Chains A and B, each alone.
Chain A
């Protein structure tokens, strides 16, 4: 029975990787930008499924939402902005890039042969610091999900860097494309009527559920797969879906562009602020053991939350909670800002919805 299970897993891996290969070749071969974007969406979805098969649910979440969802919409928005035509170039022009691409591909395949086997316990990544994390995390941090423990506490500084990178990306897009609509958005046409009634009803049902799911992913991140990044993009998807179905004007009334970029900055501020609070209370930057002063920690009942044997579990728990909240705010608001930047542009006096 176990032999069969392993073979089924192998077959699944091969099938999904073949799908990725076919998608990649199709993307390279198609001459239509729209088809390429949609194929990239399919590629992301297939790779998300593959990541689930590889037990990387956290990454699969992000890939499915960002790769297959948000980036597709943003790219489609970008094609609406760029009214161009594809020139057919002679094949001479593509010799040098082709050789370069094949060379890099060969190098990557060659490098991949040097990687340790999947799940190899003796590989350097799993033998040294990874093993230390696995052995210590339950005692040090008390979060059942090892990924959250490493991401939010041991490597909290790296994660702050990631949040800042996302914030900077949002700022960059906003500076290039503007923070929102440059001109007044056109009012929705009067005869919208019941043309899209099915879509509107479905979206109205789905949007609250998407938001609820985002909060589940956020607050369940300590225990299961998920966390601020995943929840943030799911939350942003709710706003983007609203804009796609009900029009950007309606969404901007609900989530103003100004509020979005303010919240994006607030998230980073919250994250970094937690680090500073830890410094003030006598620890290092983002050292959640010192999030609360010893006076407050003395007031907390020992067995209220998490592992009572662990000295600072309360500080660790709330440190992770707050920085994940900061990540959620930054990611969600930045995604919405980027979307507004693309969707709110006006081409030739005609407002895009």
Chain B
């Protein structure tokens, strides 16, 4: 039985890692700030949940399991809050979500695009609410 749990746990850890990797791809590829935040935060919590669950199965019921549970609880508490704060700051800084298949919306002209080099978009993010 522990052998089976170990395999399941290992599989969950690998699945969580792949999910996080997917999130990293989303952060790089998605078109605007909000979708990028979406990709980062969802895969962050989901991937961490899978990894911690897998590690809990591998370690068996012990003090480590409790520690893993606390790690999970903190991640579930902090990551969504951070994503919310980030989106809030982006909204406050005037970033408009990109809707439809437009390349650049007319009102977006004066706002630096986020997929440019870091010096164009980065300073606006977070400075208001960090």
Contact = CB atoms under 8 A, between A and B. Distances in A.
A76 B119 contact: no
Interface residues of A, number: 19
Interface in A1-55: 30-32, 34-35, 38
A346 B86 CA distance: 25
A351 interface: no
Interface in A174-219: 195-196, 198-199, 201-203, 205-206
Contacts of A201: 81
A205 B78 CA distance: 10
Contacts of A202: 77-78, 81
Nearest to A200: B81
Nearest to B79: A202
23 contacts: A30-B118, A31-B119, A32-B118, A32-B123, A34-B125, A38-B122, A76-B127, A76-B130, A195-B88, A196-B88, A196-B129, A198-B81, A198-B85, A199-B81, A199-B84, A199-B88, A201-B81, A202-B77, A202-B78, A202-B81, A203-B81, A205-B77, A206-B78
Interface of B: 77-78, 80-81, 84-85, 88, 118-119, 122-123, 125-127, 129-130
A244 interface: yes
Nearest to A244: B130
Contacts of A76: 127, 130
Q: Which DSSP category, helix, strand, loop or mixed, fits chain B's interface?
A: helix
Interface of A: 30-32, 34-35, 38, 73, 76, 80, 195-196, 198-199, 201-203, 205-206, 244
Contacts of B123: 32, 34
B78, B80, B118, B119 pick with most chain A CB within 10 angstroms: B118
**CB-CB nearest 10 A-B residue pairs:** A202-B81, A32-B119, A198-B84, A35-B118, A35-B122, A31-B119, A34-B123, A199-B85, A32-B122, A34-B122
A320 B50 CA distance: 42
A317 B65 CA distance: 32
A203 B127 CA distance: 19
A198 B85 CA distance: 8
B118 A196 contact: no
B19 to A, nearest CB: 19
A201 B78 CA distance: 11
